[in-house]
Structure 1
Amino acid sequence: MNNRKTMQANPTPTFPALPAIAKATAPFRPAFAALLGALLLSACAAPDFRQPAVAVPAAFKEPQQAPAGDVRNAPDGTTWKAAQAAESQPRGEWWRAFNDARLDSLIAQATANNQNLAVAAARVRQARAIAGIAESERVPRVDAGAGAQRARPAPPEVNQPAGTSIPAVTSYRASLSASYEVDLFGRVSGSVAAARSDAGAVEATYRSVLLSLQADVAQTYFRLRALDAELATVARTVGLREENVRINGRRFELGDIGEFDLARARTELSTVRADAIGLQRQRSNAEHALAVLLGEPASNFGAATDPLEATAALPLIPPGLPSALLERRPDVASAQRAMEAANARIGVARSAMFPALTIGADAGGVAGTVADVFKWSSRSWLLGAALSMPLIDGGRNRNNIVRSEAALEEAVGSYRQSVLAAFADVEDQLAGLRILAQQGAELDQALASARRSADLARKLYDAGRSGYLELLDAQRNLAAVERSAVQLRGDRALTTVALIRALGGGWEAQPAAGVVKASLAAR
């Protein structure tokens, strides 16, 4: 009795019946479901991609290398004029600004035959195929099957006593099955986004390889022409040294000079000839390098002699704004796509922690003869859905999320580094052109003075008013300045090409996407 009274005095708490709960919470059910869905989706979806902040200068530090229409008179009477950039040319055909038909032909040949470019194009096709594989997961998979089997089961398998004779049975089967994963938490869409970004990164890498190939061909071509011009300069020096040997030999025979002057003349001749042989080796190496770029065996390729003359016109390339550089450089574009892919993979990694819903269906027929397989009485079908999610994975999925987030941080760092390198590359080439222009102005004066000095030394030596060493010194100085002028001419051509490469292959603000598509389609 006491216990009963105690229980009555302290009754257990009562709860409303389930219908009452349902009725009470009915107004809040849609909001609760929406909130729960939003929480689940936000938990597994990829974070919103935000462009990393980078310090973009308002303008390049280095000024233009020369004003428009700059014309310079060389000491030998020729004129040098900076050609204007061909703004009407597509960005993918930047080399046409040099107005050199031979260069146009070489770059066309390299684009068609270079093996590194073929490798890059194959990688683009692979990346696009991978993106297509990821896209295929958005569509239900349908498979068809057919088969035949003959079997003789053991008596216990068909609930018959041991020793029962059971005949062999032949059966035929035809089936049609379908399966589809419902993209509840963004695994499929995240995989598609990542694959698309990967393909974009590979395509940007292809553009980078294409630009590098074109620039390498142009630089090797101009290097060959500069070496031809330097060889022509050395050849003139060799001719002058041979004339000195001939004259000094005659004067030695007549007793006008001693053997010392003749020996010095012969020494200078052999030295200059050795320099010419060394330049021939450099030219052979450049020729072989150009053959590889063109996709030809070095043994079968020969480049015609074509000295880079002082009258050769180089295009004046306006660098534009630094902000436009980020849209032109293919390496920066590749780093951008890599960031987007890494961001999408965070969502894929998060979705692995949530349920995956797969719907499947199977229909077909089974019969003892092929003709009966497709009869209505032989039909069979199966329809089902499977929901699965990880419970205990030892931290695999959590660590995969951390890895994906760290991969995004790595991609962001690579992007920022690419941007910094791009700005530095442009500044390097602009500075190089400015400094080479200053060197050229000084060399113009030095060349004029050296030619005047050599002319006076020859006249004084012929008149007997100075020794051979003074003449030799003046001629040696002139030859050195002439070679420096030729080398500087080649350096300016190479640096101009390097500036175009640093600018991403042109000087327009917007990239020409059709260039890559057309080149890939040609393959």
Structure 2
Amino acid sequence: MRKTVGTPVLALVLAACATAGPDYRPPEKSAATAPEARGAFLSAQGAGFSNAELPDHWWRLYDDSRLDMLVEQALAANTDLRVADANLAAAEAVLREAEAGRTIGTAVGGGVTLARPSGTGENLPGVVGYDLGLSASYPLDLNGRIKRAIEASTADLETVVAARDYVRVGVAAATARAYAQVCAANYSLTVNRRVVALQRETLDATQRLFKGGRGTAFDVSRARAAVDASAASLPAFEAQRQNGLYLLATLLGRPPADYPKEVEDCAILPVLHAPLPAGDGAALIRRRPDIRQAERSIAADTARVGVATADLYPQISIGGSLGLGGPLKSFGSGTSFGMSLGPLLSWSFPNRPVVKARIAQADAQVQADLAHFDGTVLEALRQTETALEIYRRHAEQAAALDRARDSAGVSAGQAGKLFRFGRGDFLSLLDAQRSLAGAEASAAAARVQLVQDQIAIFLALGGGWS
């Protein structure tokens, strides 16, 4: 059998004509595909939950026009979102740069020289020469290096889009939380002021009894101490309200002094008018932007394996050039003109160990991305289950505290009647009112916490980016 030198060269050229590196496919065996990850949530049990998917604009479930307005303003003006939009514009520019690798590349060059012979002993004028050239090349991309680079940049762009969407999720949730904080502070102020008013009535009655000779100064001082103790909690709620307003201003891209005055008097807690739509694990995995971001990172780095693999083979392009050169006095003459046209080959053949090391690095990065993807899915599921469980238990606690408040109210009323008719002592009345004050405060705090728990669930579910 005769062997020719062209046989291995031909085989190399044919190998270079195949797209280098693996084609990307979504992970088939991962945490996202496990049946346990895609089913209903264990903690979303009971009448307070539904299996419906979370709507895109979940804050509208509260049917609160002021909350809707604030979230829309935040999504339009938040500074973190402006940063995310700038990152998106940069990623789009990188993609355009990668796509430009498929276009014809051109270069223009030129120069002027002065050549003067030496050693003649005379001052010669010298010869002025010139050199002008125009070259162009078109990459054939037979091994798919440019194709893989475009795939990587496209996936990088989609990663940045997902990161921007995750910022939107956080901004929507933070705005709802800040608004709920303002409403909750005013709501708590209303509840505690009602308690203070009741205790002031007792203080006034005690003072009248003391003046009429039926009470003691000790009874008056104890009644005043109860009023002062309850009133001491009011400044803290006022501070919480202002902090919430300042946070809203920041989220809306405004200075703190320019906080939204229209929500300053909100004293009604946001309330869901239907069971909380929790969906299931499959919907969560599809919806969460950070999971999509992790998956797109795998795609980008898989394409980079192809970019690195392509360096094992020659890069072939079609090139041509036109040139003029020679003494300036012969500018434009036929003898000063030159041209070339043909294939161009670039190949770092002696550096194959370096290229293979880069391929190994790219492969290792893909493996790291796969592990990160699984971790992101598992963390998203954990966050959601935890948020649902906390909300469910806090709902039970809030119901029990409501019953305790109602019982304390009945007890305080009975103690007041007994005291007024002389059948009960003043200490029993104070104890009953103290119990009522504590029960009112605890029940109010529990209701406030439920709203925050709901928003934590919506954040964990990843809603609000579309």
TM-score relative to the length of structure 1: 0.79
Deviation per residue, 1:52-81 (Å, 9 max, x gap): 422242321123452689xxxxxxxxxxxx
Matches within 5 A, 1:191-206: 191-206=149-164
- Residue 300 of structure 1: CA displacement? 2.5
CA contact (8 A) 2:84 2:167 kept: yes
Spell out, residue by residue over 1:376-425, the C-alpha distance to the aligned partner (whole angstroms, 9 max, x if none).
Answer: 776432335233223147x4333322221221111111110111111112
Pick aligned residue for 1:220 from 157, 165, 178: 178
Q: Which amino acid aligns with 2:87?
A: R
1:68 to 1:333, Cα distance in 2 relative to 1, 3 A: closer
Match of 1:360 in 2: 319
Task: Pick one of 154, 160, 171 that aligns with 2:116.
Answer: 154
Tell me how far 1:43 sits from its aligned partner. 10
Query: 1:393-412 counterparts in 2 under 5 A?
Result: 395-412=353-370
Matched, 1:382 2:363: no
Does 2:302 match 1:343? yes
Give the aligned partner of residue 432 of structure 1: 390
Match of 1:128 among 65, 87, 92: 92
- The answer (yes or no) to whether the contact 1:124–1:202 under 8 Å persists in 2 is yes
Alignment of 1:20-419 (within 5 A): 44-46=20-22, 48-51=24-27, 52-54=29-31, 55-57=34-36, 58-66=39-47, 91=56, 93-144=57-108, 149=112, 151-155=113-117, 161=120, 163=122, 165-167=124-126, 169=128, 171=130, 173=132, 175-301=133-259, 302=261, 303-309=263-269, 312-365=271-324, 379-383=337-341, 385-392=344-351, 395-419=353-377
8 A Cα contact 1:172 1:370, kept in partner: no
Kindly tell me the number of residue pairs found equivalent between the two proteins. Answer: 458
Q: Say if 2:323 and 2:337, in contact at 8 Å, map to a contact too.
A: yes
Provide structure 1 residue ranges, at least 5 long, that are not aligned to the other structure.
1-15, 70-83, 507-511, 516-523
1:459 paired residue among 396, 417, 422? 417
CA distance in 2, matches of 1:164, 1:207: 74
The answer on whether the counterparts of 2:320 and 2:339 sit within 8 Å (CA) in structure 1 is yes
* CA deviation map 1:420-455 (0-9, x unaligned): 111112212222332233223322322221111110
Residues 47 and 343 of structure 1 are in contact (CA less than 8 Å); yes or no, is this contact kept in structure 2?
yes
C-alpha distance after superposition, 1:301-323 (max 9, x if no partner): 2441111259x444433222311
* 1:371 CA drift (Å): 13
SS of residue paired to 1:308: coil
Pair 308,318 (structure 1): closer, same or farther in 2 beyond 3 Å: same
- What is the CA–CA distance in structure 1 between the aligned matches of 2:455 and 2:444, rounded to whole Å? 17
Instruction: Give the unaligned 5+ runs of structure 2.
Output: none
**Residues 5-20 of structure 1 aligned to structure 2 (within 5 Å):** none
Question: 1:469 offset after TM fit, Å?
Answer: 2.0
For 2:65 and 2:177, the matched residues in 1 are separated by 15
Distance 1:356 1:165 in 2: 48
**Aligned-partner Cα distance in 2 for 1:139–1:371:** 35
Residue 41 to residue 502, structure 1, CA distance change in 2 (3 Å): farther
Between the aligned partners of 2:428 and 2:14, the Cα distance in structure 1 is 92
% identical equivalent positions: 30
Residue 336 of structure 1 and its aligned partner are, at CA, apart by 0.4
User: Quick check: 1:222–1:308 contact (8 Å CA) kept in 2?
Assistant: no
CA contact (8 A) 1:65 1:437 kept: no
SS at match of 1:177: strand
Which stretch shifts more, 42-51 or 356-365?
A: 42-51
SS at match of 1:137: helix
Q: 2 CA distance for matches of 1:372 and 1:166?
A: 18
Return the offset for 1:299: 2.1
Does the CA contact (< 8 Å) of 1:178 and 1:362 recur in 2?
A: yes
**Residue 231 of structure 1: CA displacement?**
0.7
Deviates more, 1:299-308 or 1:336-345: 299-308
Q: Distance in 1 between matches of 2:111 and 2:16?
A: 47
Counterparts in 2 of 1:276 and 1:389: CA distance versus 1, 3 Å: same
- 1:350 corresponds to which letter in structure 2? T
So what's the TM-score if we normalise by structure 2?
A: 0.87
- How many Å separate the matches in 2 of 1:164 and 1:380? 33
CA contact (8 A) 1:155 1:164 kept: no
For residues 245 and 38 of structure 1, what CA distance do their matches in structure 2 show? Answer: 98
